[in-house]
Amino acid sequence: MAHFAEINKKNIVVRVLVTASDDPNGDKGYSWLVKNLGGTWIETSYNGSIRKNYAGIGHTYNLEIDAFVSPQPFKSWVLDNEAIWQAPKGYPSDNKNYNWNEPTLSWVEITGE
């Protein structure tokens, strides 16, 4: 099986479909998608071996880095070399749970109160 993401004119993923990969020409169903559904299709994979991240609806295909990128969670976060959004400060390593607080640019502990 092969997975393909359809992107719109703004490179945003609008759907992801699975195709048979038994095509003797090796196109993994790409030709069928284009012929029968039209649109622009880009292969993706669950394990990140193709285009760094598995495509999801609402993700963006970044041609420059050949990767699917999830929506930016916060304005201060930056994209790393693996196409993953990173906070400006590392997540605390004290085994507590935290949420990101954008106004203070810090991790805030989640308490039961």
| pLDDT tens figures, 81-99 | 999 999 999 999 999 999 9
113 and 59 in a common domain: no
Which residues, at least 6 apart from 88, have a Cβ–Cβ distance to it below 8 Å?
76, 77, 78, 105
Q: How many domains does the chain have?
A: 2
Comparing CA positions, the residue from 70, 67, 71, 72 lying closest to residue 52 is 67
- Whose tokens are 């759907």? That residue is 15
* Mean pLDDT in residue range 11-36: 83
21 and 64 in a common domain: yes
**Residue 7 in this model has a pLDDT that exceeds 80:** yes
62 and 23 in a common domain: yes
What domain range is 10 assigned to?
Answer: 1-71
Q: Is the pTM of this model over 0.85?
A: no
CB 112 within 8 A of CB 97: no
With bands split at pLDDT 50, 70 and 90, how would you rate the model's confidence at 22?
low
92 and 79 in a common domain: yes
